[in-house]
Structure 1
Amino acid sequence: MAWFVLVLSGLMEAVWATALGRSEGLTRPVPTATFLVALALSMGGLGYAMRTLPVGTSYAVWVGIGSVLTLVIAMATGTESFSVVKGLLLAGLVGCIIGLKLVH
């Protein structure tokens, strides 16, 4: 259950990071509200997962999922360019996240 919650928390990290970027300095109400809700869910889930999983592993997986998905969202929406090198580096991050799960 902790791993499932951790993955969902990583997804919420991507949501809050994207919403924060779109909030224009927390001045737009909908992206700001989305940021606050997703931030609370993300942190709450991370805290829950850390009750069972090691802190270092939990944090690395949470940040990794959030980073990968935030960049994928940015590429999909055109705010970030795609390149083969970026794609390979993202694949490497995903491999590391999977590796952390496998060795735990």
Structure 2
Amino acid sequence: MRSIPIGTGYAVWVAIGAVGTAVYGMIALGDPVSAGRIVCPGLIVSGVVGLKLMH
């Protein structure tokens, strides 16, 4: 945590959990796949990347 702020680090871990859970549900558990379920995790990832780039 010495190279990035704590808020960005927390956002990264939360994003990994949220996106990972959504993808796992769609692939392994048969959750419905729709455009919204693809776009929203993509927005989460792009937000975390934006936080990292602003560092």
Q: TM-score, structure 2 length as denominator?
A: 0.81
Question: Unpaired segments of 5 or more residues in structure 2?
Answer: none
Task: Tell me whether 1:65 sits opposite 2:13 in the alignment.
Answer: no
Pairwise CA RMSD: 1.3
Greater percentage in helix? 1
Please give the secondary structure, in 1, of the residue aligned with 2:33. Answer: coil
CA deviations on 1:26-73 (whole Å, 9 max, x unpaired) are xxxxxxxxxxxxxxxxxxxxxxx3xx1322111111101111011101
Determine which structure has more spread, i.e. the larger CA radius of gyration.
1
Q: Which runs of 4+ in 1 moved over 6 A?
A: none
What CA distance in whole angstroms lies between the structure 2 residues aligned with 1:60 and 1:70? 15
Q: Identical aligned pairs, as a percentage?
A: 39
Higher relative contact order (CA 8 A, sep 6+): 2
How many aligned positions are there? 54
Q: TM-score, structure 1 length as denominator?
A: 0.47
Question: Unpaired segments of 5 or more residues in structure 1?
Answer: 1-48
